[in-house]
Structure 1
Amino acid sequence: MNAPALTYVYAATRPTSDLDAALPTLHGIGQAPLRLLHSDGEGTPLAFVAADVPEGDFNETALKNHFEDLDWLEYVARTHHDVVQAIATCASVLPLRMATVYQDDHRARQALTAQHHAFSQRLDQLRAHTEYGVKIYLTPSTTPGPEQATASPTQPTSPGKAYLRARKAQHHTREAVYQQAQHAAQAIDAIAAHHTTQRVRHAPQRGALTATQENVLNDAYLIPDDQAEEFQAAIADAARRFPDLRIEVTGPWAPYSFATPPPEPPNPAPTSSLPGAPAASPPPP
């Protein structure tokens, strides 16, 4: 007897022949085969990309427990991301909330049909666009150590004064670098104004994601595909003007930051979704 399963939904998309050809080669969580669940709504064809997941791992209680399991969370997030990225190479894609599950395919189709117009409208807006990220980091070399600001041998001073002098020099250096980061952000905004259609400002990354570098800007841009190369080249050119910073372009990504699905209808609602998960799973750093 097979264990009970729920329907896990990865994304909404427009069915294409390329997607039909690729789908048999793709797998979801637990190596489950993917399938398309087509909307019954009128207008342009629309489908959910879905797969089965064990009910025992994805019911509401289990998801609350898994929220404390970082290894499990990373696996689900990475697999969700890999599926969405693979779909994006074949068709327009609207990533959905990580760990969105329905009781069965029928309930998932009902939800898709109820939101057919809103999903279709958003997919139309995202067609032929790709997400790129731009991050600005302050590098460790921009913060002087005490040895860089001590008095010269011909001007001896007390340890207390030497410490204060070092702290003052450190403060001035960091102020100068922050000002440089401000100018860099303005330069990036000017480039984005010519090449992007939307921007989302994410909170700077902290902790292990940034190692020894301080992240001061973490933005996402929606860029027409025919302008992506020019955008990346312009950012790289601007970065050369700011040697004390590391300016990084990430992507191309499926439009995670611009998915924002419409509100779920009162019925049918997903059986469960991961508590605290964003509306669209973010790409890895």
Structure 2
Amino acid sequence: MPEAGTYLYAIARDVGRALPEHVVGVAGAPVRAITHEGLVAYVSPVPLGEFGEEPLRRSLEDLDWVGGTARAHNRVVEAVAEGAPTAPVRLVTVYSTEDQVHDLLRRRHDDFTEVLAQVTGCREWGVKAYAEPGTNAPRAEEAPAETGSPGRAYLERRRASLRGREAAWRQAARRAEDIHAALVSVSVAGHRHRPQDPQLSGREEMMLLNGAYLVADDRREEFTAAVDSLRSQGIEMELTGPWAPYSFTSMDLGPTRAETSDDP
């Protein structure tokens, strides 16, 4: 078994541009390019004692390890995307040899070319919409008059609170759908990810929209202006980007076989 594998970061259009010298890859390794007929794959060597199939299972249970690897991966991808249309590869994609990566470029050349054509001149932007504090509270006029026994009055107040909360959330969800549709109209493409749990988002408010939008560079100002115009009472919006187009270049590359055969 070889001591080192080949970590793949991204496939890009070959524009003859070298990465800045300060950009290093996972585990501090230097990044190099593998080219084939107008395409370039960015790779670096990684120790299979850490990135091989069995050790990797253990490593992925270490959140600090995953975080550091993800940051290094993203650093390379973003540096590539600054200079050329780029298709990022999923985190921790490792092949046995560089020859396997070259073979991947050969076999999937037309697929990569098509994907890169779709994202040329575009970057990804993220928009998250949250229900502002108090959105789920019933309006004062919805509360019923207290009549009858204290127990009955409590139940009536409880039902009114639930009705008001559900109505408020339905209204907020419809607003999120309208926001997504409006942003798609000024984008090349849009995708709604699953809303994040508050433990992941780091916010107490419920996330209503977790959208990704592929935006042409010459419509960037139009897109950001659209986000600003869609802010409204009860909805707080968060804009991030621009990023490499992770959400719009997903491809099944097949098994990586970092520890098995060297045959393509």
Q: TM-score range by the shorter chain?
A: 0.7 to 0.9
Q: 1:36 aligns with which of 33, 36, 47?
A: 33
Residue 205 of structure 2 corresponds to: 213
Q: Give aligned-pair identity as a percent.
A: 36
How far apart are 1:206 and its partner, in Å?
0.8
Q: 2:132 aligns with which of 127, 135, 139?
A: 139
Residue 124 of structure 1 corresponds to: 117
**Cα RMSD for the two superposed structures:** 2.7
Taking a change above 3 Å as real, the CA distance of residues 247 and 174 of structure 1, as seen in their structure-2 partners, is farther
Q: TM-score by structure 1 length?
A: 0.80
The CA distance in 1 between the partners of 2:39 and 2:167, in whole Å, is: 52
Residue 16 of structure 1 corresponds to: 15
Residue 204 of structure 1 corresponds to: 195
Verify the 8 A CA contact 1:139 1:213 in the aligned structure 2.
yes
Specify the code of the residue in structure 2 equivalent to 1:95: P
Verify the 8 A CA contact 2:95 2:257 in the aligned structure 1.
yes
Taking a change above 3 Å as real, the CA distance of residues 144 and 184 of structure 1, as seen in their structure-2 partners, is closer
The CA distance in 2 between the partners of 1:70 and 1:237, in whole Å, is: 38
After superposition, give the CA deviation of every residue in 1:47-98 in whole Å (9 maximum; x if it has no partner): 1111111110111111122222222112212221122112111211100011
Residue 257 of structure 1 corresponds to: 247
The CA distance in 2 between the partners of 1:263 and 1:94, in whole Å, is: 12
Moved over 4 A (4+): 147-152, 155-159
Residue 247 of structure 1 corresponds to: 237
After superposition, give the CA deviation of every residue in 1:153-178 in whole Å (9 maximum; x if it has no partner): xx698664454344334323323422
The CA distance in 1 between the partners of 2:50 and 2:34, in whole Å, is: 22
Structure 1 residue ranges without an equivalent (≥5):
274-285
Stretch moving more, 165-174 or 6-15: 165-174
Taking a change above 3 Å as real, the CA distance of residues 28 and 126 of structure 1, as seen in their structure-2 partners, is same
Verify the 8 A CA contact 2:130 2:205 in the aligned structure 1.
yes
Specify the code of the residue in structure 2 equivalent to 1:257: S
Structure 2 residue ranges without an equivalent (≥5):
260-264
Q: TM-score by structure 2 length?
A: 0.86
How far apart are 1:246 and its partner, in Å?
1.2
Taking a change above 3 Å as real, the CA distance of residues 158 and 33 of structure 1, as seen in their structure-2 partners, is farther
